[in-house]
Structure 1
Amino acid sequence: MILYELIDFEILRVIWWLLLGVLLIGFALTDGFDMGVGALLPFVARTDLERRQAINTVGPVWEGNQVWFILGGGAIFAAWPPLYAVSFSGFYLAMFTVLAALILRPVGFKYRSKRESTAWRSAWDWALFVGGAVPALIFGVAVGNILVGVPFHLTPELIPMYDGPFYAKFFGLLNPFSLLAGLISLAMLLQHGAAWLALKTDGMVETRARRLGPFFGYLAAVGFALAGVWLAVGIDGFAFAGEVVTDGPSNPLLSEVIRGGSWLDAYGDRPWIATAPLMGFVGILMAARSFGGHGDLSPLLWSKLGIFGVISTVGLTMFPFILPSSVDPNASLTVWDSSSSHMTLFVMLVCTAIFMPLILAYTAWVYSVLWGKVTVEDIEDNSETVY
């Protein structure tokens, strides 16, 4: 219990905010290239062998990559219960759409090659496209809505209530800024998928991936820059109106929050966070540039840096806000008032310290075993054992 007493509530809240970011970034870095490959499938692979070649680059690893998504949802549920309650109820239809699209992936992987029919395989190829493109788009739309503010308020009993009709929980998310954020997310993961294919394939699939990768990279960079300008001049930020209690009870209604100014005011208060968007731009642009070289690994590494920078930019710009409310700023959820108890966060941290290294070690071992390119010859020689 000595360690428990040494780590105070405020520090634990920040640690779990960081860990949530790590889990979300881990999901984007790993499952992101799975989704990117699926979304690129109809465009980089034109024959059945080429499509099987592309699918087999992600077929053995996608389930392990999805662990990060599950861990992220579990961390939100256990460490940030109000965030789980508000986001999963408010984004219910969007979440359902994402899950429906993600379900298409395992079914597509397992059933695509069960029949020789061209129409059958083509249908499953488009299902894999939907399973990659739709989640990539909606995740970005969700982030855009978080920056704009979500239309919810809290009752005195801290029950989240959403304004507007039920269908607005989906169609209301499709505002212009959030659609831009969705397109940035989609373009970024398409570049990530192209970088993965440049590493893991050869022949025409690799050639087409290297041709498409820069286009999506430049598109993501332009969109990221436009979003920054939009945040600066067209979207109000959120701020605390008075003194902030960082180790108090998890009750957002105890704090006074105002809306005004800009999210980018954070860069004046904490200039060092400018390193995050810088990493985003450098990573995306260098990945786009490196597709034209002869290195197989460099586009993927640069793409990972870009994704890390973009996601970090959102978190650091908003800190300490996690889910702001556009209709009642005082109901906005922040790092300081929407976490679990001190003891819960501590016990979870101990469990994370034990199991996270095991997950990382196992993941590294799997990728080392599967290292190397997937060739058309591999598919032809092992037609009964590959996807």
Structure 2
Amino acid sequence: MILHELLSFELLRVIWWLLLGVLLIGFALTDGFDFGVGALLPFVGRTDTERRVAINTVGPVWEGNQVWFILGGGAIFAAWPPLYAVSFSGFYLAMFAVLAALILRPVGFKYRSKRDSKLWRSSWDWALFVGGAVPPVIFGVAVGNVLLGVPFHLTDDLMPMYEGTFYGKFLGLLNPFSILVGVVSLSMLMMHGAAWLALKAEGPVQARARSIGAVAGIVAIATYAAAGLWLAFGIQGYAIVGEVVKDGPSNPLHSEVVRTASWLSAYAERPWIIIAPVLGFVGLALAVLGLRSTREVSTLLWSKLGIFGVISSVGLTMFPFILPSSKMPAASLTVWDSSSSHLTLFVMLISALIFMPMILAYTAWVYKVLWGKVTEKDITDNSHTVY
């Protein structure tokens, strides 16, 4: 009880905002290279054996990596119920497309090598490509729409309402800015997948991954810079005016929110957050140089740093907003008014402190056991025990 009293409601809200960011970034850093390898698969492997080399670099670990996605979804549901309700209803079709693409991955991994038919295997290779390329694009498009503001409003009893037709809600997400952010996401994770293949593969697969990954990294840098400039000069931000109640009830309608000239005004208020985009650019640039100079471990680490910087720059720029509303700014969800109760956040934090170290320790052990390269000889010598 003493600890419960020491951890104020305000502090717990910030902690869970940080933990949500940690889970989402952890998902991008781990499952991100799985997506990248899938998106690169048709291009780095020209023979069946080469494609199996690429697949077997991620086959043993992708399920464990996807735990971060499940944890992120669970954290949103438990710690930020209004965010879960509003986002999953408004992005329903987009979420369905992501889940459909994610379903293709395990099916592709398990069934691709069950038959020797060239058509059979080629079809599953393209299914793995869809499963690797579609989720990053949709996640990026979703982030772009969050920065623009989502067209929802809240009724007096806090029920989220969206306007437009069922299919229009999906097609409406495909605006120029969100598509640009989708390109940032896809190119960044393709570079990350290439860095992983540079570490885990060798020969032609490694060489092609380096070449394609370097180009993808350059595209990621250019589109990230373009998105930043667009955000600075072409998109309005959001701000809370008046007194901010940080430990009050979770009712977004209690706050007064207005549109501002730019999201980047946050950098004038909190100059230290410039470190996030700097890390993004530096990490991406050094990863590109690493791919070109045949470095392996450091290239993957630089790629992770770049992803960390890019994703954290979004969260820090938007803080304290989590899901702004373009239709009704006052309904925007923030860190201070869309969380679960004080007790719920406290119990969840204790659970996280117990189980997160276990997950991290197990993950580290798995990667230690599976350390080493996947070679074509491994594939040909173990054709019945690999993907």
TM range (shorter): over 0.9
TM-superposed CA distance for 1:373, in Å, is 0.3
Whether 1:158 and 2:152 are equivalent positions in the alignment is: no
Matched with 1:70 is 70
**1:109 is the counterpart of 2:79:** no
Structure 1 match to 2:119 = 119
Aligned to 1:227: 227
CA distance in 1, matches of 2:111, 2:219: 34
Distance 1:164 1:213 in 2: 39
* Aligned residue identity for 1:173: L
Structure 1 residues without counterparts, runs of 5 or longer: none
Counterparts of residues 10-89 of structure 1 (less than 5 Å): 10-89=10-89
* Aligned structure 1 segments of 4 or more residues deviating by more than 3 angstroms: none
Q: Distance in 1 between matches of 2:294 and 2:324?
A: 45
Q: Which residue is equivalent to 1:183? A: 183
1:23 aligned counterpart, secondary structure? helix
- For structure 2, the residue ranges without an aligned partner over 5 or more in a row are none
Alignment of 1:375 with 2:375, yes or no, is yes
Letter paired with 2:310:
V
Separation in 2, partners of 1:289, 1:169 = 40
Structure-2 residue corresponding to 1:299: 299
Cα distance, 1:295 vs structure 2? 2.2
**Could you tell me how far 1:336 is from its partner in structure 2?**
0.1
Look up the equivalent residue of 2:340 and give its one-letter code: S
SS at match of 1:386: coil
Q: Is the partner of 2:325 in helix, strand or coil?
A: coil
Matching residue of 1:342: 342
The aligned residue for residue 200 of structure 2 is 200
- 1:308-319 aligned at under 5 Å gives the runs 308-319=308-319
The alignment partner of 1:291 has SS state of: helix
Work out the CA distance in 1 between the residues paired with 2:334 and 2:166. Answer: 25
User: Aligned residue for 1:358?
Assistant: 358
72-81 or 258-267: which moved more?
Answer: 258-267
- Number of the residue aligned with 2:238: 238
Q: What is the letter of the counterpart of residue 259 of structure 1?
A: R
Letter in 2 for 1:198: A
Distance in 2, Cα, partners of 1:96 & 1:292: 37
Quote the offset at 1:176 in angstroms.
Answer: 0.5
Over residues 140-180 of structure 1, what are the superposed CA-to-partner deviations in whole Å (9 max), with x where a residue is unaligned?
A: 00000000000000000000000111112210100110000
Q: Which amino acid aligns with 1:324?
A: P
Aligned length: 387
- Partner residue of 2:167? 167
The offset of 1:260, in angstroms, is 1.9
1:298: how far off? 1.5
CA distance in 1, matches of 2:264, 2:296: 37
Deviation string, structure 1 residues 18-44 (Cα, Å, up to 9, x no partner): 000000000000000000000000000
